[in-house]
């Protein structure tokens, strides 16, 4: 039996699914950029972007507003999975 380490993980698909759930929960309680979610959860930003795309395609994530990120100082979309902010898959405010 192989050890359950990052190099020998038999549950690779489950890790991605778990990360997506963490991103979803984080954005259901907070409006944040991908960088802010990455810093809050410890999930790599490139993984956040992949999960963001999947949640957008499923109609579970919206872009709330575009403004300066509190972490990076660059212009970025603030995201949410809050049902109150979802507007039939359209961006809020447009």
- What pLDDT sits at residue 64? 94
Is the pLDDT at 85 greater than 90? The verdict is no
* Position 13 confidence tier, pLDDT thresholds 50, 70, 90: low
pTM confidence score: 0.75
Q: What is the distance between the alpha carbons of residues 85 and 83, in angstroms, rounded to a whole number?
A: 5
Mean pLDDT within 67-87: 93
Helix (H) or strand (E) holding 79: strand 75-80
Q: What is the distance between the alpha carbons of residues 21 and 15, in angstroms, rounded to a whole number?
A: 10
Helix runs in 10-93, H state only: 12-29, 34-41, 45-57
Beta bridge partners of 63: 79
- What pLDDT sits at residue 87? 64
Topology at the third CATH level for domain 14-80: Arc Repressor Mutant, subunit A (1.10.10)
Q: What is the distance between the alpha carbons of residues 27 and 73, in angstroms, rounded to a whole number?
A: 20
């Amino acid at each position: 039996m192989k050890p359950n380490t990052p190099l020998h993980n038999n549950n690779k698909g489950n890790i991605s699914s778990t990360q997506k759930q963490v991103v979803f929960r984080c954005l259901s309680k907070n409006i944040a950029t991908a960088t802010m979610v990455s810093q809050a959860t410890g999930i790599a930003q490139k993984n956040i972007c992949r999960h963001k795309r999947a949640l957008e395609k499923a109609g579970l994530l919206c872009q709330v507003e575009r403004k300066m990120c509190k972490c990076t100082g660059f212009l970025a979309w603030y995201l949410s999975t809050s049902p109150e902010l979802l507007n039939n898959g359209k961006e809020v405010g447009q």
